Amino acid sequence: MIAIDGPAGAGKSTVARLVAARLGYLYVDTGAMYRAVTLKALREGVDPGDAEALARLVRDIDLVLEPGAEGVRVRLDGEDVTAEIRRPEVSRAVSAVAAVPAVRDRMLELQRALARQGGVVMDGRDIGSRVLPWADRKIFITASLAERARRRQRELAEAGVHASLQEVEAEIARRDHLDSTRPHSPLVQVPDAIVIDTTGLTVDEVVTRVLDHCR
Ligand SMILES: Nc1ncnc2c1ncn2[C@@H]1O[C@H](COP(=O)(O)OP(=O)(O)O)[C@@H](O)[C@H]1O
Ligand SMILES: Nc1ccn([C@@H]2O[C@H](COP(=O)(O)OP(=O)(O)O)[C@@H](O)[C@H]2O)c(=O)n1
């Protein structure tokens, strides 16, 4: 069981997916789960600040993560929403939705159920601290804000979304602040995690470091 946490755009998903493939483990992208909940809320006109409505919304949500050739596919109520959950509207609202305790408690149940299936690499914000505190390895992946913004801007451009570097950087910084300061299972660096700063590294170098640590 490998737990990977860190701020937005640090490279968690990219590295976690490759490490899971190398080890033959299941990869669980918990950020995608919070994004899918947020998409459902936006579609149903539920205010991201309405905790009671969000608690109802997650109670029997149909959320499935399926391993695919190009990464995990996300199905919400039977529909493939893999691309849509990366839209800027979802990114803007997700931290408010993820701050609601009932949402986090429901995601925790689903995440632990996935981890019970066997070898797993799970990435997010509270995996080492709350979801899988008994994980065999914990890794905190980070990078400078400027580098993370450059990476996210490139990804958005590839998806046809054009935003200035300043805008992307401000948005990431705002989300990191919300994620780190919420009362319920905030983003924290646990003392038993090793830290990898990916700023000057290639994806391969980071994957190698994680695999070395897991041996
Ligand atoms: N050294 C590196 N480690 C991880 N990702 C990197 C690295 N260099 C560039 N990238 C790119 O940065 C982006 C990181 O995004 P992602 O993995 O979604 O981060 P996170 O899951 O932490 O938000 C990807 O497009 C990835 O290809
Ligand atoms: N374990 C997790 C994972 C994500 N999240 C929330 O979900 C958001 C999106 O996560 P993500 O990993 O997809 O974000 P990116 O770093 O890929 O942009 C985060 O900003 C958090 O608000 C969380 O609260 N706890």
Per the model's pLDDT, the better-predicted residue between 145 and 49 turns out to be 145
Residues tagged in the binding site annotation: 6-14
Pocket probe mutation, ligand 1, options 4, 12, 14, max atoms within 8 Å of Cβ = 14
User: Would you state the pLDDT for residue 71?
Assistant: 82
pLDDT at 37: 98
Give the three-state DSSP class for 47.
coil
Q: Determine which residue's CA is closest to atom 5 belonging to ligand 2.
A: 31
Quick check: helix, strand or coil at residue 21?
helix
Q: Which domain CATH number covers 108?
A: 3.40.50.300
Q: Is 194 helix (H, G, I), strand (E, B) or coil?
A: strand
Whole-model pTM: value is 0.97
Q: Is the CB of 126 under 6 A from ligand 2?
A: yes
Question: What is the domain range of residue 6?
Answer: 2-214
Number of domains in the chain: 1
Can you give the pLDDT at residue 117? Answer: 87
Q: Is the pLDDT of residue 169 over 80?
A: yes
Mean pLDDT across the stretch 38-47? 96
Q: Long-range contacts made by residues 59-67, C-beta under 8 angstroms, separation at least 24?
A: 59/106, 61/36, 61/37, 61/106, 63/33, 63/36, 63/37, 63/110, 65/28, 65/29, 65/32, 65/33, 65/114, 67/26, 67/27
**Which ligand 2 atom minimizes the distance to the CA of 5?**
1
Cα 183 from chain centre: 18
Quick: pLDDT tens for 53-97: 999 999 989 999 998 777 889 999 999 999 999 999 999 999 999
pLDDT above 90: residue 29: yes
Q: Tens digits of per-residue pLDDT, 133-157? A: 999 999 999 999 999 999 999 999 9
